[in-house]
Structure formats: structure tokens, C-alpha cells
Amino acid sequence: MSRENRTRLLIARKVPAAVARRAEAQFHAFVTESDMDAGSVVDFCEKHDVPAILIGKKSGLQVEHITALPSTVKIIANASAGFDHMDVAAARNRGIVVTNAPDALTECTADFSMLLVLAACRRASEYERIMRSGWGKSFGMTEMLGTRVNGKTLGIVGFGRIGRAVAKRAQGFGMRVIYTDVTRAAESLENGATYYASLADMLPHCQVLTLHVPGGGVPLMAKNEFGLLPKGAVFVNAARGGLVDEDALYEALTSGHLFSAGLDVYRNERNTDKRFAAIDNVFLTPHMASATVETRDQMGFTALDNVAAVLDGRTALNPV
């Protein structure tokens, strides 16, 4: 194969057709039909000397895989905002650029977070089950009541791109917004939101709480933190399942301390804690916050933009 026609990119996860077409045209990419594991990625790179890799969770490269990569690899691109499925420090130590796609998911994840807020507050999963079972009875004035969103105080943990986008949507529903983060945002970005310097200080004021921070380490929300929320609060998580002690969450939901929860992420994804599916006051979705045609295309295109920049000798657009 001539240098001009050689494979310059391995796409190790299944991507949308539009992303695959561009990758093949621009980089003569090898595009997998099903997600590759890390060992298969290393084998391919050793055989084909590709300078760029686009990976997913299944192909998350840890230190032993990155150490085994040939010196030809210049960039590992993630088509997601998160990169906790790989060892970034090990890649940096080898001089390999790691990128992500932080902007591509913002709007759809914020939309989905508001879906979780509304569905949890208004008992959406229960209402849908009633209809699917045939309805069959009328409900009186005191039955099957949700809790109103308008006028509630929404606490946001993490006031980055997604947190701020959620705040704007919540304000459109007439919610008061408070937030906590490592540092206070510029006043121009707060848009009227109130800052709390610590999570513990903010929690007692949150009638609805939503998380928008990276995962990893000790759970952010455990028994003590759920206990600080006011009785009847609603909890939402579309960030990372590892942020939550699920035993503590289950206790808070079944004891009546929490009114409900809306969950898109879990500690053990694909094999989630079945206790949550057995209780009514949880709205559950299978990690789908970014699952729109437009966003998934943009995630892939952002990864390809980063690959193009690095292979052309320019600075990556979204270095981690």
C-alpha cells in the first residue's frame, strides 16, 4: 500500500455511518464492525503501524496496553466527554496525545437531565405502566400525585458546560438554581445561580439534586449526604454511577426520605442492581443521555477533528 493510501486511523468502536464514511475518506481508516477489546487494539497497531486510534469503553487502554503500543501511535481519541476508561497518565508518559469530545454531548445531556428531573417528579414510569396495563380505573384527587417542578430549588453538583446548560433549562421551568463546584464560576456564567462552597452546605437547600461531575474514587453521595437532603427531595444522576453509594440511595428511596430518583448511570452497568427496578419511585434509563443522531455524529466528528489536527502537526483541539 502506498504511503498516501495506508491506514492512518483505527476506529476500535462501532460508530455512526456518517462518521465511518468520513474516517474512511479522510484517513483510509479501518472501521470495526463491533467494539474491539484493548488487546485487539494493540495487536492491530503492531501489525499496521497506525498513528491514530479512536477507542471506546471496551477498548479502554490501561498502562499495560499503552506500554505495548508501537512508537507510531501519536493520538488516542475518545468520542465522548469521559475518559475514565483509559490510563491518560501512561499515554502522556509515552508522548501520546489523548483527546475527548467535551462540547459534543452538552446540549443533549442537559436535555436528558431535565427529562429525568421531570419524569422523577411527575411519576412518569408509574403512569406509563398504568397505561400499558390497560388503565381500567379512574384516579381520585388524592391519588398518584407527583411533585411540582416549577418553583422548586435545583441543586447542581458541578457547574461546567453540562451543569450550566441544565441550569438554563431549569430556570426556564421556573426553578431556583443553586450549585457547588471546586471554585465559583464567573458571575457572567452564573446567570443568577447561587454558589455554595461545599456540597454539605448546599444539600439541605436542594429540593431536587442533579450531578454533573466526573466519576472515580469514593462515592460523592453516600448515606450522610442523602441524609442532608430535605425529606421529599428528588435525586437525579446522568453523570457517572460511581458517584453514588447505591445501598444508601436505595435506603433513602425505600424509607421515604427521597420522593423519587431519575437514574441514567449505575455502578455496575449492564448488570445493574435489580432492587431499583422493583420499586416504583425510580425512573430508570440505560445510560442514554447522549443518544441522539445529531450528538453521536458530532461526538465522532469531534474525535476525527482531533485526529486530523495531531496528524497534521497541529495542537489537538480537545486535549485531555
pLDDT in tens, 90-117: 999 999 999 999 899 999 999 999 999 9
CATH number for the domain formed by residue range(s) 106-284: 3.40.50.720
pLDDT in tens, 123-140: 999 999 999 999 999 999
Q: Round the average pLDDT of the chain to a whole number and report it.
A: 95
Q: Which residue has the cell 427521597?
A: 258
Looking from the CA of 203 toward its CB, the CA atoms found within 13 Å total 17
Type and span of the H or E element at 78: strand 75-78
Q: CA–CA separation, 92 vs 76, rounded Å? A: 10
Q: What is the 3-state secondary structure (H, E, C) of 14-53?
A: CCCHHHHHHHHHHHCCEECCCCCCHHHHHHHHHHHCCCEE
β partners of residue 155: 178, 209
β partners of residue 9: 52
- Determine contact, residues 233/206, Cβ cutoff 8 Å: yes
2 pLDDT higher than 50:
no
Which residues make up the CATH 3.40.50.720 domain(s) of the chain? 3-104+293-311, 106-284
pLDDT at residue 4, as a whole number: 55
227 pLDDT higher than 60:
yes
Active site residues: 240, 269, 287
Fold (topology level) of 3-104+293-311: Rossmann fold (3.40.50)
pLDDT over 70 percentage in the chain: 98
| pTM score of the predicted model | 0.91
pLDDT in tens, 147-202: 999 999 999 999 999 999 999 999 999 999 999 999 999 999 999 999 999 999 99
